[in-house]
């Protein structure tokens, strides 16, 4: 079902497929925690990051190595032939001859899809500009399943819903699970109309507001995001919305006891460090879950038939 296919957006996933990735990730958790494995021995994963990354890059690398495979790295664009003017298409054709799969993060929307058109091996989109971030969504769903409940979920997506690719992918995937979604953002950073249209076509109940206090009492998951400074055409526009939300333990007192707080990270100042020690914080668990989820994807895309 998964072999040799690209992972570009959540639109390519059915709910059954997502559930099967989650189930596999759960069975691979012991390996994510250090149990030895040679499932991907002899396989090579190429990492092409044209934008900064800590978690996504390093959890892909960890996932591959923990399964016995290895990684090759483009390094910085400046250190590669991209700096000589090589096109993305040529870069991908060449690297596709070295590796068994390619992970790409790039500032331009649609770049992972373009890469997939030239790649002889599976391409995994690790973020294309303000577009999509499907592997983050899979780990987000995994976190919700492990730490809360994916059924009958009420969730608030908070912060930069315009430029944030994690929330674009996540909102779509949540619509497959019948979640109630509150979209909480400054008016200038609302969720794009196209994604809202997708949500309503799936019958998803969506509520839009700029005021988190309106929904804090009823939600099960609070998904905070960073205002995506690097995507603003005008730095003054960024300054106007920079400190729109700031989650504190006092604010969480209004929420359900069982509420979990998530964040794809990195955070800037939207969650104060004091929240880290509350029983609600799950964002560091979430970043760990990137390892088993990416292990599951890599195994599905590259693993042998009998594994
Ligand atoms: C996110 C991203 O790169 O879109 N980070 C991540 O992959 N964990 C979120 C962000 O940068 O704000």
Residues with CB under 6 A from ligand 1: 55-56, 127, 133, 136, 165-166, 226, 264-265
Position 242 in a domain: yes
Q: Are 158 and 227 in contact (CB under 8 A)?
A: no
Q: How confident is the model at residue 191 (pLDDT cuts 50, 70, 90)?
A: very high
Position 167 in a domain: yes
pLDDT of residue 306: 47
Residues 103 and 172 in one domain: no
CA of 6 to the centre of ligand 1 (A): 20
pLDDT of residue 83: 75
Which helix (H) or strand (E) element contains residue 202? none
Position 4 in a domain: no
Taken in order 153, 31, 290, 108, the sign of the CA dihedral is negative
Sort residue 265 into left (φ over 0), alpha (ψ -120 to 50) or beta: left
Residues 268 and 296 in one domain: no
Q: What is the pLDDT of residues 1-47, one digit of tens each?
A: 677 799 999 999 999 999 999 999 999 999 999 999 999 999 999 99
Residues 222 and 279 in one domain: yes
pLDDT of residue 1: 63
CA of 94 to the centre of ligand 1 (A): 27
CA of 13 to the centre of ligand 1 (A): 21
Residues 293 and 270 in one domain: no
Residues 46 and 102 in one domain: yes
DSSP state for residue 7 in the 8-state scheme: B
Mean pLDDT of the chain: 96
Rounded mean pLDDT, 85-96: 94
Residues 264 and 280 in one domain: yes
Structural domains of the chain, count: 2
- Tokens describing residue 208: 């839009």
Cis peptide before 266 (omega within 30 of 0): yes
Q: How far apart are CA 207 and CA 19, in angstroms?
A: 26
Q: What is the pLDDT of residues 218-240, one digit of tens each?
A: 999 999 999 999 999 999 999 99
pLDDT of residue 242: 96
- Tokens describing residue 43: 């396989």
Residues 165 and 272 in one domain: yes
Residues 87 and 161 in one domain: no
Residue 97, pLDDT > 70, answer yes
Residues 144 and 255 in one domain: yes
Q: What is the pLDDT of residues 52-71, one digit of tens each?
A: 999 999 999 999 999 999 99
pLDDT of residue 80: 79
289: closest CA among 35, 21, 17? 21
When mean pLDDT is compared across 85-89, 119-123, 130-134, the lowest value belongs to: 85-89
Q: Are 124 and 47 in contact (CB under 8 A)?
A: no
pLDDT of residue 81: 81
Position 113 in a domain: yes
Query: In terms of residues, how long is the chain?
Result: 307
Position 194 in a domain: yes
3-state secondary structure of 69: coil
Residues 220 and 275 in one domain: yes
Taken in order 17, 266, 276, 172, the sign of the CA dihedral is negative
Q: How far apart are CA 118 and CA 103, in angstroms?
A: 14
Position 269 in a domain: yes
Pairing of β 154-158 and β 221-224: parallel
The atom number, within ligand 1, closest to the CA of 55 reads: 8
Which helix (H) or strand (E) element contains residue 302? helix 283-302
Position 48 in a domain: yes
Rounded mean pLDDT, 277-304: 96
Any bridge partners for residue 246, and if so which? none
Q: Which of 9, 47, 136 to mutate to test the pocket of ligand 1 (most atoms within 8 A of CB)?
A: 136
Q: How confident is the model at residue 79 (pLDDT cuts 50, 70, 90)?
A: confident
Catalytic positions:
55-56, 84, 105, 133
CA of 266 to the centre of ligand 1 (A): 7
104: closest CA among 119, 125, 85, 88? 125
Residues 267 and 298 in one domain: no
The atom number, within ligand 1, closest to the CA of 165 reads: 4
Assign residue 19 the CATH number of its domain. 3.40.50.1370
Position 307 in a domain: no
The atom number, within ligand 1, closest to the CA of 264 reads: 8
Domain limits at 233?
134-287
Rounded mean pLDDT, 203-231: 97
118: closest CA among 145, 86, 161, 160? 86
Residues 186 and 106 in one domain: no
Q: How confident is the model at residue 162 (pLDDT cuts 50, 70, 90)?
A: very high
Q: Are 195 and 209 in contact (CB under 8 A)?
A: no
Distance of CA 189 to the CA centre of its chain: 19
Q: How many CB atoms lie within 10 A of CB 180?
A: 18
């Amino acid at each position: 079902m998964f072999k040799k296919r690209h992972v570009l957006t959540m639109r390519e996933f059915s709910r059954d497929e997502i559930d099967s990735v989650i189930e596999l990730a759960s069975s691979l958790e012991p390996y994510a925690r250090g149990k030895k494995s040679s499932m991907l021995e002899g396989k090579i994963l190429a990492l092409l990051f044209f934008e900064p990354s800590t978690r996504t890059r390093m959890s892909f690398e960890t996932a591959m190595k923990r399964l016995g495979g290895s990684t090759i790295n483009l390094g910085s664009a400046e250190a590669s032939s991209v700096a000589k003017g090589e096109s993305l298409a040529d870069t991908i054709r060449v690297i596709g001859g070295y590796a068994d799969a390619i992970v790409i993060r790039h500032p331009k929307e649609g770049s992972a899809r373009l890469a997939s058109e030239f790649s002889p091996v599976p391409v995994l989109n690790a973020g294309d500009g303000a577009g999509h971030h499907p592997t983050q969504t899979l780990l987000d769903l995994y976190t919700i399943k492990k730490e809360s409940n994916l059924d009958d979920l009420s969730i608030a997506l908070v912060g930069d819903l315009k430029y944030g690719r994690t929330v674009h992918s996540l909102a779509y995937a949540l619509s497959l699970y019948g979640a109630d979604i509150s979209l909480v953002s400054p008016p200038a950073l609302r969720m794009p109309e196209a994604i809202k249209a997708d949500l309503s076509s799936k019958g998803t109940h969506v509520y839009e507001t700029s005021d988190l206090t309106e929904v804090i009492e009823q939600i099960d998951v609070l998904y905070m995001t960073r205002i995506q400074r690097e995507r603003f055409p005008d730095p003054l526009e960024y300054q106007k919305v920079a400190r729109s939300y700031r989650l504190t333990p006092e604010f969480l007192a209004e929420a359900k006891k069982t509420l979990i707080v998530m964040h794809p990270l990195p955070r800037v100042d939207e969650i104060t460090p004091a929240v880290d020690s509350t029983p609600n914080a799950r964002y560091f668990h979430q970043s760990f879950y990137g390892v088993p989820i990416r292990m599951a994807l890599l195994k599905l895309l590259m693993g042998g038939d009998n594994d």
